[in-house]
Structures are given as C-alpha cells and as structure tokens.
Amino acid sequence: MNNTPVLEIKNVSVCFDGFYALTDVNANVKRNSIHFFIGPNGAGKTTLLDIICGKTKPTEGNVIYNTQDGHSVRLTGLPEYQIVRHGIGRKFQVPSVFKSLSVKDNMLLSLKGHKSIIDCIFGKPSKEEFEHIDYVLERVGLKERTDICAGTLAHGEKQWLEIAMQLVQKPEIIMLDEPAAGMGKLETFKTGEILKDIKKECTIIVIEHDMDFVRQTADIVTVLHEGKVLTEGLVDEVLANETVQAVYLGRSKAVS
C-alpha cells in the first residue's frame, strides 16, 4: 500500500480583493480516509474545495495530487474538467443533478471516459458500464428509481444521486460539500454509512456542520478558522480540544 498522502495542500493562500479567505493552509489527506474540514461560517472551507477542484485559483501555494502508482500531478492551474478526468470528483452544496434527465441518464453522462463530442454522438455505453451503473445505484439505494426524472427525486435522494454520479466515475478522491445539509437524522445516518462503504475504494473529503455526522464517519478532522488551520487530528482529540470548542462548538452551543 502506498503511504504517501493522496492530496497535499501546500501553503495555499487566497486573496479576494484584499480579503484573505485562506492564509497559508497546509494539509495532507491520507489515502482511503474520510477527511473532514470543519469550521465556523466563513472559515474558508468551501473556498478550499474550490481550489482543489480548480474552480478558484490560489493566490499562492500548490495542490499536489499523488496517484496510486506514484506519479505526482500539480492540480493548481489545470481546468476543472481535466482535474475531474484525473479522478477527482466534487459534489456541490446545493444538490445539482440534471433535473430534466432520468436518474439513469444522469449516471450515463457521469461515466468515466467518453467525454469528447464524437464519442457523445456516436458512442454507445457498453454492457459493463450499464452493469456498473446498476451496481453503484444499488449501493446508494436508488436502484428502484432508475427511470425517474431526477428533478422529481426527494432532496435526500438527489444528494445520494449526486454522490453516485461521482462514484460511477471510479474516482480517486470525492469531495462533498455538506452532503447531509437539509437531511433528517435517518437520512444523515444513511449517508454516513454510504460514505464508510465508499472509502474502501477512494478517498473522501467532506465539509460538514453536523457534529453527529462528523463523529459517525470522520477519520481525520481539520479545523479551519478565519482562513487558517486551527488544528488537525483524530475526531475525539479534535473535538476535545479547548480552542476548537471555544471558536466553534462553544459558539454553536451558545447560538442553539
């Protein structure tokens, strides 16, 4: 097993018109782990995901991706569709599935490869690919909903479909921005179980606010605060940390 971190975030800073959303952030993500980024609103969590997936360019710093077979790819500066083709998928905060298309078509469009215009006009998905789609849909519990228009799915189901759309690409890393947002307790728990199942095959990076969800699924937690890394470690250590409680947990308790 390859022990180098799958993703190295090195000295990343982002400046939006003089405001530093992130300052000198360093983090390593271990292969086949579920790595959480938590922090109060405005801590720069989503900005960090934007940088990893190429949506935002960092002012300084690099993001390095180490593949299974020991290659290193510098993600910073690549357009997003190429980052996706390297095997790094992303789910957005607001569920964004293709709502006029069926669940199956959503999955078909997300398959790995066949991304050129010619392939799209003349290519036909193979039998293995259809089977793979069925397999992935079964894992997220949407097997019975294959032919339904994605726009009519319930909120939780849309979130799962979007996770499935990442999964069907056989990714190395999946990034999820608040996958449990707007879900009930049961749905959240199920999402956590899905993630634990997935991590055998890939690495998962999650942003989340729900502390029960963090306790249920996280391997490693990085706490961001005002654009800086506050602390990083195992779940229990981090949640027991007094500074963390002061900036984040304490405050959320005070609010609730």
- State phi, psi for 64 to the nearest 5 degrees: -110, 135
Among 105, 187, 226, 232, binds other proteins (CB under 8 A): 105
**Helix, coil or strand: residue 25:** strand
3-state secondary structure at position 206: strand
How many residues lie near other proteins (CB under 8 A)? Answer: 31
d(CA 234, CA 238) in angstroms, rounded, equals 6
Question: Smallest distance, Å, CB 171 to other proteins?
Answer: 10
Residue 127 touching other proteins (CB under 8 A): no
Least distance in angstroms from the C-beta of 175 to other proteins: 10
Question: Binder to other proteins among 76, 169, 188, 191 (CB under 8 A)?
Answer: 169
Given the rule CB under 8 A, which of 12-20, 21-29, 92-100, 134-142 is the region that contacts other proteins? 92-100
Where b means 16+ CB within 10 Å and e means fewer, 141-160 reads ebeebeeeebeebeebbbbb
Among 20, 98, 130, 189, binds other proteins (CB under 8 A): 98
| Residue 88: closest CA among 108, 104, 73, 98 | 73
Separation CA 13–CA 20 (nearest Å): 7
Among 2, 74, 77, 115, binds other proteins (CB under 8 A): 115
> Quick check: 96 binds other proteins (CB under 8 A)?
yes
The contact set with other proteins (CB under 8 A) reads 53, 79-81, 84-85, 89-90, 92, 96-101, 105, 108-110, 112, 114-115, 117, 119-123, 125, 165, 169
